[in-house]
Amino acid sequence: MKSSLILVVFATLCGIGFSLECYTCSVAETDPDFDKTCIDHPEELLATDCNKNYCTIIRQEYKDEENIVASMYRGCEDYPMYINKTFEDETYRFYYFSCQEPLCNGGSGKSPKTALRMRFANSDDIGVFMKVTNSYALLGGEEHSEHVCSLIRGDLSEIPVINTSLEGCRVIGRMCVGNKNGLLLPEATYDTELQHIRNELPDSVKVETIQDRLSALGNVIVCNDHVAIVHPDLDKESEEIIADTLQVEVFRHMIANNPLVGSYCVLSNQGGLVCADINNSELENLSSLLQVPLVVSWHHKQGNKTVASGLVVSDHIAYAGMKTTSSEFTAIDTAFGLIPPRHY
């Protein structure tokens, strides 16, 4: 019960972007019926008397002997106390989020661009199972992940969110690559999977398959909406398909002497995060090539270089695994401009 509820609470926070309702959900296990409703039917907890201007998230999380435990309160206020504000130490984190625009009286209620902790498919390596762009998202969730998928759909309600497999596998984050313009899938993608994805995506998103011996496309390609860097040994024909489908300029490159650029780097149009093994000279050259600022970090713990395994981003939101440390969160916030230091 406890681990499931923690998962729900972390994923529920993802809904702050576009929903118009206000509700409360707590991990306190003093009311088993409430907890069960929170897990199975969170929509029944929505308050209908939301008649104030701004929606404010107040969230607490602390680390006990077993795991990270969180609680979250969401309510409507006359004015936002903060656009965001955080207090934390090694074991405790307390922070606010408030919408920048009026919410409950008909405004869009969009929140500040935000980085959030979560688990997906019972894993902290969420980048293995998800792909998020500015025009669509793909989720590789099993049946037991459907509740979390529905919460992510609530957060990303302005774009299609597609639950799918690729080649019958759910590790779609490592198998495909895309941006707002297109999506590239491995040649071995099943016809039924390809048709399902094409049916769900906007007509403006071009979908193509690539036949290349380097078939784990998410490991060997990293891109935003303007530029891509690829494994140096990718076929020339594959490079041309990447440029045409994603409408990007393509560069063959390595990161910290490793050709798996899609594992060692995460990009948005605002910035990028790269593994901490990269030296300063290479970091400057890569930033100049990509035309975005870059920040170095580890993944979940010092020494793990595959930053893309635990992080997915768009220009509006980032999801990071629950084991992401405070210093890693700071790097994410800085890299992608997700939590600006303004406050009221």
Domain count, the chain: 2
What's the whole-model pTM score? 0.70
Same domain, 97 and 143: no
pLDDT, residue 100, reads: 43
Helix (H) / strand (E) element for 32: namely: helix 32-40
The residue among 61, 82, 111 that closes a domain is 111
Same domain, 146 and 266: yes
Same domain, 177 and 241: yes
In sequence order, the 6+-apart residues with CB closer than 8 A to the CB of 136 are 159, 160, 161, 162, 178, 183, 200, 201, 202, 205
Amino acid at 163: N
Same domain, 142 and 173: yes
Same domain, 102 and 132: no
Same domain, 146 and 167: yes
Same domain, 39 and 151: no
Same domain, 145 and 252: yes
Q: Residue 73: give the domain boundaries.
A: 1-111
pLDDT, residue 42, reads: 43
Write the CATH number for 283.
Answer: 3.75.10.10
Same domain, 97 and 220: no
pLDDT, residue 172, reads: 97
Same domain, 236 and 145: yes
Residue 194 is encoded by which pair of tokens? 């390809």
pLDDT, residue 216, reads: 96
Same domain, 200 and 215: yes
pLDDT digits (tens), the chain, 344 positions: 333 333 333 333 333 333 333 333 333 334 445 445 544 554 454 433 333 445 555 555 555 555 555 554 455 555 554 444 555 555 555 555 444 444 433 334 444 466 777 788 878 899 999 999 999 999 997 755 676 777 788 778 889 999 999 999 999 999 999 999 999 999 999 999 999 999 999 999 999 999 999 999 999 999 999 999 999 999 999 999 999 999 999 999 999 999 999 999 999 999 999 998 899 999 999 999 999 999 999 877 666 789 999 999 999 888 888 888 878 888 888 898 875 332 22
Same domain, 273 and 331: yes
pLDDT, residue 103, reads: 40
Q: Which of 274, 255, 261 is nearest to 332 (CA)?
A: 274
The residue among 111, 142, 168 that closes a domain is 111
Inter-residue contact 37 to 45 (CB < 8 Å): yes
The residue among 68, 85, 111 that closes a domain is 111
Q: How far apart are CA 331 and CA 278, in angstroms?
A: 15
pLDDT, residue 124, reads: 85
